[in-house]
Amino acid sequence: MARLFVVIFLLSEIIGIGLFSTSLTATARTSQETQVQTEVILQLNADALPTGKYTYKFLAGYQSDGQPLYVPVVVIKGLEAGRRMLLTAAVHGDELNGIAVIHALVKELGPEKLRGTIIAVPGLNQTGLVGNSRYYLRSEGGGSPRDLNRLFPGTLSGGGAASRYAGNLWHNLLKGNADIAVDLHTQSTGSDYPLFIFADYRNREIAAMATALMPDMIKRDSGQEGSLETSFVTASIPAVTFEIGGAKRFQQPLIDRAVMGIKNLMVAEGMLAGTVIKPLLPPYVGSSFANIYAEEGGTALMKVSLREAVKKGDLLAIMLDRFGVEKRRYFAPRDGRVVSVASDPLKESGAMLVRLLY
């Protein structure tokens, strides 16, 4: 009887192992069969594509071990000809809200709803995203990390791995596929923005774009050399920088509002059917910043909120030491509107506490 039990046990183990192995093989096969193959491209020409929705991996460069750097690209080509809108996100590796905005838009919109073309790039700075870093972009020769949004339009030859990465993006993916561009950002790690836009108001079309996106606040801004927005404007392509909240998280209410704003801009540009929405409260528009920095490190207690109107002399923040004892108070240097506040209470000397727009 004992021998029979042992034989039955061994048989069951053998059968069990066989069934388990078969199950693993079947699962792996099913996974492989359902995977979507995404084409690798060296250059994008959206105009040459027929109507449809496409996903690509753009070969932007190579890492030091020879591994390729792929940038995700989604193209939606509408049934009718129209404007080409370029949407870019995560030019800084800690800016994630813009990625969620693009994901939501490309999931909702199809060729049948669209007049024109959307070219969406949800993740320009691949090494920054993978490295969990705002600036990290293939630092060269042991040097310090590079800010991708100060390197455009970059170069296609010569020295500088980071500049060549930017140049490849600019010349082979971005510039030739845009009639208008919206570059999606957030405030840097440790601080927050509302829905906020940098726009060069010297160009009427850009000013109209900024308003159509329905932000809380707009800065009339002549641009920053090397930034994606300014590079487009210099190339006679209307563009804005769209700031969506804070870094390293998905803020769904702001994401939803940004999606609505981009769709409203698409209506204004004739890319979607509908009526342009005009908010009851227009955005606050200013031309200058007043930045308030910590004079010494400590724990910052913020006394103002985003979008709050302040007067000169109003209390903005209180700095505490390690024992919770008040060390310093910070006051508004002038009238303005709060466009950025520290979200991380721990601040070292020189860190920004509050930014006012006026």
Tokens of 259: 């999606």
Is the per-residue pLDDT at 33 higher than 70? no
- At residue 158, the pLDDT reads 85
15 occurs within a structural domain: no
Average pLDDT over residues 344-353: 96
Does residue 303 share a domain with residue 251?
no
Average pLDDT over residues 158-184: 94
Going by pLDDT thresholds of 50, 70 and 90, the confidence category of residue 278 is very high
Is the per-residue pLDDT at 116 higher than 70? yes
Is the per-residue pLDDT at 258 higher than 80? yes
- At residue 283, the pLDDT reads 97
d(CA 277, CA 116): 20
User: Is-contact 42 56, C-beta < 8 A?
Assistant: no
Does residue 327 share a domain with residue 241?
no
Sign of CA dihedral 245, 248, 251, 252: positive
User: Is-contact 312 334, C-beta < 8 A?
Assistant: yes
- At residue 22, the pLDDT reads 31
Of 130 and 243, the one with more pLDDT: 243
Domain boundary (268, 284, 300) is at 284
Task: Tell me the C-alpha to C-alpha distance, in Å, between residue 43 and each of 39, 122, 172, 328.
Answer: 11, 17, 5, 54
Place of tokens 């390729």: 68
Average pLDDT over residues 257-283: 96
90 occurs within a structural domain: yes
Of 329 and 113, the one with more pLDDT: 329
Sign of CA dihedral 123, 128, 133, 136: negative
- Where on the phi/psi map is residue 144: left (φ > 0), alpha (ψ -120 to 50), or beta? beta
- At residue 29, the pLDDT reads 35
Residue 305's Cβ-side half-sphere holds a number of Cα atoms within 13 Å equal to: 0
Q: Please, what is the average pLDDT of the chain?
A: 89
CATH number at residue 191: 3.40.630.10
d(CA 32, CA 36): 9
Is the per-residue pLDDT at 9 higher than 50? no
Is the per-residue pLDDT at 226 higher than 80? yes
The DSSP bridge pattern shows strands 191-192 and 39-41 to be unpaired
Does residue 195 share a domain with residue 328?
no
Place of tokens 């069951």: 12
Does residue 275 share a domain with residue 338?
no
Can you give the residue range of the structural domain that contains 297? 288-357
- Residues written for the chain: 358
Domain boundary (284, 306, 327) is at 284
- At residue 145, the pLDDT reads 74
Is the per-residue pLDDT at 138 higher than 50? yes
List all residues 6 or more positions away from 293 whose beta carbon is below 8 Å from its beta carbon: 350, 351, 352, 353
List all residues 6 or more positions away from 9 whose beta carbon is below 8 Å from its beta carbon: none
Is the per-residue pLDDT at 292 higher than 90? yes
Does residue 341 share a domain with residue 205?
no
- At residue 66, the pLDDT reads 86
User: Is-contact 225 77, C-beta < 8 A?
Assistant: no
Does residue 73 share a domain with residue 128?
yes
Q: How many domains does the chain have?
A: 2
User: Is-contact 148 166, C-beta < 8 A?
Assistant: yes
Is the per-residue pLDDT at 23 higher than 80? no
Does residue 255 share a domain with residue 118?
yes
119 occurs within a structural domain: yes
3 occurs within a structural domain: no
Tokens of 190: 């440790």
9 occurs within a structural domain: no
Does residue 167 share a domain with residue 208?
yes
Diameter over CA atoms, the chain: 95
Neighbours of 55 (CB within 10 A): 14
- At residue 238, the pLDDT reads 98
